[in-house]
């Protein structure tokens, strides 16, 4: 059994969605953020030294009665795709396979950092708001790039949904919530509407509880 250590309003919502899409059995252990700092609670450090979410435990893959612990969203996504015999994994077509690799890593490696910077600056009095204005153009470059890609692709890696779409969901949801993503980029909005309409996505929301970005 896979246990997802799920922090509210976090990247771990993607893991629940992927598990629903793959049809893998799982259980959820929920954690709430500290209301003052919005950080993860210290209990998560008992699962993994970094104390971050998402983290999964797979009791079917451990040795000597223990569980295998996997951290980092990208690593978890790749692990689950492999566990599901490659479903929602890399497409066969070479160009689509390249897009799959690219967006699987682009989500956290390039798109998420400026969004996180803007979030942190938004909590800094006075100077933080001014600094946010300098970060927004960096975010806009990424949103324009993604909009251009989705203008000619229904999904990030070809004609069908893959794990690359799962990885891209959180930063684009966060961008719509707090970084200026709106109807001026219709292809991203249409893509968000498509994923939010999927039965597996709705089931993941029910499993994870309140989620501010959907």
Is residue 80 scored above 90 in pLDDT?
A: yes
Mean pLDDT of 159-177: 97
pTM: 0.93
**Per-residue pLDDT tens over the stretch 14-32:** 999 999 999 999 999 999 8
**Per-residue pLDDT tens over the stretch 194-206:** 999 999 999 999 9
Mean pLDDT of 31-47: 86
Q: Is residue 179 part of a domain?
A: yes
Q: Is residue 176 part of a domain?
A: yes
For residues 145 and 168, the answer to whether their CB atoms sit within 8 Å is: no
Total domains in the fold of the chain: 2
Domain around 107: 94-198
CB atoms within 10 A of CB 112: 19
Q: Is residue 213 part of a domain?
A: no
Closest CA to 22 of 67, 75, 82: 82
- 15 and 103 part of one domain: no
Q: Is residue 214 part of a domain?
A: no
- 75 and 171 part of one domain: no
Tell me what pLDDT residue 62 has: 61
């Amino acid at each position: 059994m896979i246990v997802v250590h799920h922090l509210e309003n976090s990247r771990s919502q993607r893991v629940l969605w992927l598990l629903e899409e793959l049809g893998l059995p799982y259980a959820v252990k929920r954690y709430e953020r500290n209301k003052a700092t919005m950080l993860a609670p210290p209990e998560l450090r008992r699962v993994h030294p970094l104390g971050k979410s998402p983290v999964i435990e797979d009791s079917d893959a451990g040795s000597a009665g223990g569980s295998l612990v996997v951290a980092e969203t990208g690593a978890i996504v790749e692990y689950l795709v492999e566990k599901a015999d490659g479903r929602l994994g890399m497409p066969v077509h070479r160009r689509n396979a390249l897009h799959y690799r690219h967006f699987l890593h682009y989500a956290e490696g390039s798109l998420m950092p400026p969004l996180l910077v803007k979030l942190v600056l938004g909590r800094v009095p006075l100077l933080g708001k001014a600094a946010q204005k300098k970060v927004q153009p960096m975010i806009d470059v990424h949103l324009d790039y993604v909009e251009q890609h989705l203008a000619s692709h229904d999904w990030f890696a070809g004609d069908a949904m893959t794990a690359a779409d799962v990885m891209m969901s959180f930063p684009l949801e966060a961008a719509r919530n707090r970084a200026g993503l709106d109807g001026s980029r219709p292809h991203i909005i249409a893509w968000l509407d498509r994923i939010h309409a999927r039965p597996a996505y709705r089931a993941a929301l029910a499993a994870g509880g309140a989620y501010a970005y959907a």
